[in-house]
Amino acid sequence: MAEGRKFEKLGYESLKKNDIPGARANFEKALDIMRKEGDDVGQAYVLGNLGNISFQSRQLEQAETLYSESLGLMEKLKDGRGIESSLGNLGSIFFYKGELDQAVQYYERALNLMKDAKDPVGQGIYNEYLGNVFLKKEEVNRAEEYYVTARQLLNDDNQKEKLKRIDEIIETLKKHPKYVDSREDILWTEAEKLEGEGKDKEALKKYQELEEMFFESHRYEKAEKTIRKTAEIYERQKDRYSAGVCFGNLSALLLQQGFKGDSAKLDQAETACLKALEFVEQDKDLRRYSYLVGSLGSIYLHKKNLEKATDYFNQSLPLMEKIGDTEGLARSHANLGDVKSLQNDWDGALNYHQKALAMMEESKNDKNIAQQCEVLGDVFMKKRDLANAEACYMRSSSLYEAVNDQTNHLIVQDKLVYIMRQPEYLERRREELVKELASDSAKNDDEKRLHLLDELGNLNILSNSPEKAVECMTEVLKLKEKKQDKPGLAETHTGLGNLYMGMNFPQQSEEHFAKAIEIKEAQGKEEALDSELYSNHGIVLLMQGRVDLADKSLKKSLKINKKAGNEAGMAQDYQNLGNLSLQKTDWVGAEQNYLKSLEINKSLDNKWGMAEDNRNQCNLYIKKEDWTRALKYAEQALEISSTLDNIKETCQDCRTLAQIYSEKKDRPKQEEYFLKAYELSQKLNEPAEICIDLRNLGAYYLERGYREKAEEKFKASFDLSTEMQDKKEIAEDYRNLGNLEFYNGNRPEAERKYLEALKLTLEIDDKTGAGKDYTYLGNLQFKEGRFEKAEEYFDKAIAKFTEANNWPSLIQLQLTVARMQVVVARKDEADKYLDMARELARQMNDPEELLKAIAEITKMKEEIDQR
């Protein structure tokens, strides 16, 4: 066998093992040898395989080059199948690149080859591909032609899955606005023509077809128009019953729109339903009549006319009983329960909803039972009966899960978490667990003790008591070590790592993540490896400045996600690798990684991820002080986040834009975006977020010299944080008020405010906050010329930032104080802080920017010495 073919074979073997890097290396080696050997056939196929690998990793430009070279060789060799494959691959490349006309050209050439070869399956595949292209081009009629042709060509038992997919696409396509528009014009013209000719029966069929199409495409206004037209024809024909059915359907449609807040639609629904009741006689169709009575009750319920709602729901009860509709009877009781809820009569609501549940249980409809249990849980919550509310939600949650209703399952889970966060629930359950742990049975039964400690740890996490959670999980760890439960140990080490990570203790977090990784790797099972574990390990290493080790863990996470085809995970990995490159001041590497993440998120249409990628790019250019490019990415992030239901992120994007405009010295724009952020935080109605924007505006006005406006904003924030009784937030406001007094020249009052802030931060053990307060106090003393007192404060600030592992604040303080000492010619004191900065830089693997800053201050000191 030729040398090149040996490596080609090794490439195929690597592919079978899903070893993509190994396959790429073997194919590249094979290609190099084949070029030297002049093996055109081998080259053609190896180039195709390398193109596939590049395509799978979304390296589209590289894939295009490889496929094009492969196509050239296939054409030279007159290899029909190879030519077709290369043309198809190039069509797919241009499809993913959005160059749709090019995609059509290549797919059509491939399709013609399949026609020449009389290959119906191949023709079907390329017709489907062309359908995809024209659908993306929004040429829906042409897309439909290709899909229908594909379906005809692939119509055999071996293509069931593909046929199912094409059928689903065709059904979806029929709801496309452009498709509906083209069909609407045709059908409406035909219906009106038939009606004009007196052919009402045929006209009705066309109107009914239009009605169905409008419902499927969610064009309810047009569906309403069509139903009215149909009812009009039935009334003209004196067919009161059929007209009544139409008015009933119209009422149901209008009611659904009314539910969304359109009060005018509720009035129209009432009119239509009353007319339907008039036309549908009770003795001829009792079932439909009873449903119309219930619908009127629902209309009045949503119009808050509770007296009429109660009347119609009560009327519906005997009717439902008469026709034997247990579920309808249950709904009427549930509706009466809703009326009582609106009247704040919780006992009455409970009575009706319990009756409704009992009836629903008879019909054994799990979805309805789940909904009713959830509603009962809501009523018990209003009565503050947490135990019964929890029981109802637990049952509802399990039933939603059983019927695979994940949306409502998650909603109920959130309600359960809310209960579990209630102080009375937490305290009651904590007392129960502590009591059980103190019992003889728990002391003598490790398994029981482990279970109780595990739950107590989770309880402490829910009550935002991470330190207590750590205590519990440390005990759990000891019990699992005693059992030699390796998988359990890995799980608990991971949990502790996450806890310490959330508490901003990266060293302890890293130790636990490292132990979890060691255990999982020792198990030797690929499936046991967890990309998130490696990713978090990399993040906490990065927080410590241990860049090389972080790089290894983050790349391991990326490798696992690539192998699993987890594109969302890969995007997150590229974001983290971008952050790592940013810390190394490797601007090019950071941008490459961020753009890879952006490319994946675009392909997944993950707007949340795309917004974050743009924020990362913005942050990169902020670091580089390239304000024009930073502005571009910040605007793109805001544009995307504005389309998402996440006001908090949109608010933060506005703050970022304000800061960029500050650097660009565009004060009106800076104020505009700070005000936009403030408007959004008020809409969000989270006091902590509102405080951030009040403080930003206060700082902006203070910088501009508008001291009265600054005072107004700072005091408004102080009032809000005092109302929240959040000592950390109150301390922040004392700092800002202290700064205001400092700028006003009232240094004694400024000192009093800083000390008030310090008192609070020490009380709640907010190490970073205390570090800030000592810094401000040190700065004030330094300005007063009391250098020794200032140094005492600065050294206390350094100690607090060190305890908090807040390296950015620590390095900034050391450099600032060193610079201040140089300015007042305190050379030895400057050296002290420069030495601290050098030691910290060494621990952080000597970041280039930090060393540059130290060198600049050192040079400034030497120049002063020379003078």
Confidence of residue 67 (pLDDT cuts 50, 70, 90): very high
Distance from chain centroid for Cα 43: 44
Distance from chain centroid for Cα 649: 11
User: CA angle, 116 as apex, 112 and 118 as ends, to 5°?
Assistant: 110
Alpha-carbon span 190 to 558, nearest angstrom: 59
Stronger pLDDT, 420 or 110, i.e. the higher one: 110
User: Measured between alpha carbons, how far apart are the two ends of the chain, in Å?
Assistant: 79
| 8 Å CB contact between 72 and 36 | no
Alpha-carbon span 733 to 714, nearest angstrom: 7
Residue 867: predicted pLDDT: 56
| 8 Å CB contact between 362 and 326 | yes
- In the block, residue with structure tokens 């080490």: 493
**Domain boundaries of the chain, sorted by first residue:** 3-173, 346-420, 425-484
H or E segment to which residue 785 belongs: none
Asked if residue 865 has pLDDT above 80, the reply is no
Least confident span in 57-61, 96-100, 120-124, 368-372: 57-61
> By three-state DSSP, how is residue 139 classified?
coil
Q: What is the CA radius of gyration of the chain?
A: 35
Alpha-carbon span 395 to 592, nearest angstrom: 49
What average pLDDT score do residues 698-713 get? 92
What average pLDDT score do residues 312-316 get? 89
* 774-818: pLDDT as tens digits: 999 999 999 888 999 989 999 999 999 888 878 888 888 888 888
Mean pLDDT rounded to a whole number for the chain: 88
How many other β-carbons are positioned within 10 Å of the β-carbon of residue 209?
A: 15
Q: What is the token pair recorded at 433? A: 């667990």
Do 3-173 and 346-420 have matching folds? yes
Least confident span in 166-175, 332-341, 641-650: 166-175
CATH code linked to domain 3-173 = 1.25.40.10
Q: What is the token pair recorded at 429? A: 């359950």
Confidence of residue 846 (pLDDT cuts 50, 70, 90): confident
Q: What is the token pair recorded at 437? A: 């742990």
Residue 801's nearest CA partner among 758, 767, 834, 776 is: 767
Residue 387: predicted pLDDT: 87
Burial level of 76, CB count in 10 A (0-12/13-18/19+)? exposed
H or E segment to which residue 329 belongs: helix 326-342
Residue 129's nearest CA partner among 141, 115, 111 is: 111
Residue 677: predicted pLDDT: 94
Residue 395: predicted pLDDT: 94
Q: What is the pTM of this model?
A: 0.56
Q: What is the token pair recorded at 584? A: 């190394």
| 8 Å CB contact between 677 and 655 | yes
How many other β-carbons are positioned within 10 Å of the β-carbon of residue 407?
A: 7
* 556-592: pLDDT as tens digits: 999 999 988 889 999 999 999 999 998 888 889 999 9
Q: What is the dihedral of CA 708, 714, 715, 721, to 10 degrees?
A: 170
Fold of 346-420: 1.25.40
How many other β-carbons are positioned within 10 Å of the β-carbon of residue 750?
A: 23
Confidence of residue 735 (pLDDT cuts 50, 70, 90): very high
Residue 528: predicted pLDDT: 60
Q: Quote the DSSP letter at residue 345.
A: -
Least confident span in 256-265, 336-345, 512-521, 597-606: 256-265
* Amino acid at the residue 493: H
C-beta pairs of 169-172 under 8 Å, 24+ apart in sequence = 169/131, 169/135, 170/144
436 contacts: CB under 8 Å, gap ≥ 6:
442, 452
Q: What is the token pair recorded at 66? A: 């490889």
Name the E strands within 70-228. none
- In the block, residue with structure tokens 């570090």: 771
How many other β-carbons are positioned within 10 Å of the β-carbon of residue 586?
A: 16
Burial level of 72, CB count in 10 A (0-12/13-18/19+)? middle
